Amino acid sequence: MKPPSGLPELPELKLKAREDRRIRGGHLWIYSNEIDTTQTPIKAFEPGDVVSLVSDRGHFLGYAGVNPHSLIAARILSRDPARRPGQGLVKHRLNVALKLRDQLYPDRCYRLMFGESDGLPGLVADRFGDYVVLQASTAAIERIKGEVVDAVNAVLDPVGILWRNDSGARDMEGLEQYVEVACGDVPERVPVREGAMQFMAPLHAGQKTGWFFDQRDNRVRFARYPAGKTLDTFCYTGAWGLGLAARGGQSAFVDASAQALAWVEEEGQRLGLPVETLQGNAFEVLRGLRDEGRRFDTVIVDPPAFIKRKKDFRQGLAAYQRINELAMRVMEPDGWLVSCSCSHHLSVSDLTAAIQRAARHLGRFVQVTEIGAQSADHPLHPAIPETRYLKALVCRVVGADS
């Protein structure tokens, strides 16, 4: 393949025979054991190098960013020979992604770039109106971070851009963790709208990019359910419980983080809503509430991933069953359970079965009324199952098996 527009040739990374089928089917990841290391030694590359990925017969498959120290040794960034990774490619990807989000979320608050699903593995971009928060989780994106910022400025012209490069995913790529303002001015907290509610998102010190846009569609849809006494566990900034409180409910919030609960209290004061905060491990707090005889009409269970690796499946599945059983123990005889999982390795059927086992252990009857997934600004890549990760089951839990 000749380089476009007279650009210098890139080094090649060659696959073994028949290892290109999954790539031709649309997948973007190349594992280290799929590479023909006799002809193209992966250890010869530096983390973040861009290569021309070719089949065993020398057919061009795409431009990829490599990391010889990672199990996923390369990720395809472009299949078009005329679009090499850089500012031009990022601008193109941003414009395509922006068209989708602006059709669905006119408030300009959304996940703008969702890595593989938007064609740029390793890059996340969240938009908060005039501000953008970026995350780079691969060495290849880290290498072109300047071009990424230039592209965001060219497409969105934001007031400020913040890098939240402090996720654990960077450890696997051998990248340092840091938080820094890339350009402009980015306040500690900025407004974000969900349906009729406006919250304040902590961009610099919050979890992930400061907000969990992936649950927004589920929270907005849950607004049609009754608002009574609510317990919001693993609450972070309390978007689930505050939304119910705004409709006349009474909400209590549980989180291990004192800072998260401080944000909940500030939000309650700003919105004029009474809140009760309970700091501690959610499992232990739920046991304490059970022993106190406390009961709630709705319990939200939205934990971090209990199954981060496939080998953790059995232990994680038991944790999901245990937390849902504890939630049911503090529910009124006819209540609502919102049970979520962001573990890719846990399927909807696995979570449903865990909830059912928990209910049977207590002699209760469950009806699943809705099965939610991540919001539309987190689209699924049909060839990459890992992009489908969030499950949110809305369950009616009746007091006794009928």
* Rg of the chain, C-alpha, whole Å: 23
CATH architecture of residue range(s) 87-187: 2-Layer Sandwich (3.30)
Supply φ then ψ for residue 280, to 5 degrees. Answer: 150, 175
Fold (topology level) of 212-398: Rossmann fold (3.40.50)
CB-count burial class (<10 Å; 0-12, 13-18, 19+) for 13: buried
What are the residues facing 372 on neighbouring strands?
A: 392
Q: Return the domain boundaries, the chain.
A: 4-78, 87-187, 212-398
CATH-assigned architecture of domain 4-78: Roll (2.30)
243 half-sphere exposure, CB direction, 13 A CA radius: 26
Amino acid at the residue 80 = D
Task: Give the active site residues.
Answer: 342
Measure the CA–CA gap between 124 and 136, rounded to whole angstroms.
7
pLDDT in tens, the chain (402 residues): 555 656 678 999 999 999 999 999 999 999 999 999 999 999 999 999 999 999 999 999 999 999 999 989 999 999 999 999 999 999 999 999 999 999 999 999 999 999 999 999 999 999 999 999 999 999 999 999 999 999 999 999 999 999 999 998 899 899 999 999 999 999 999 999 998 899 999 999 999 999 999 999 999 999 999 999 999 999 999 999 999 999 999 999 999 999 999 999 999 999 999 999 999 999 999 999 999 999 999 999 999 999 999 999 999 999 999 999 999 999 999 999 999 999 999 999 999 999 999 999 999 999 999 999 999 999 999 999 999 999 999 999 998 755
* 56, two tokens: 């065993």
Are 75 and 140 within 8 A, CB to CB? yes
- Predicted confidence at residue 195, as pLDDT, reads 85
Global pTM?
A: 0.94
* CA distance between the termini of the chain: 68
Strands 131-136 vs 160-165: parallel, antiparallel or unpaired: parallel
DSSP string over 380-391: -BTTBGGG---E
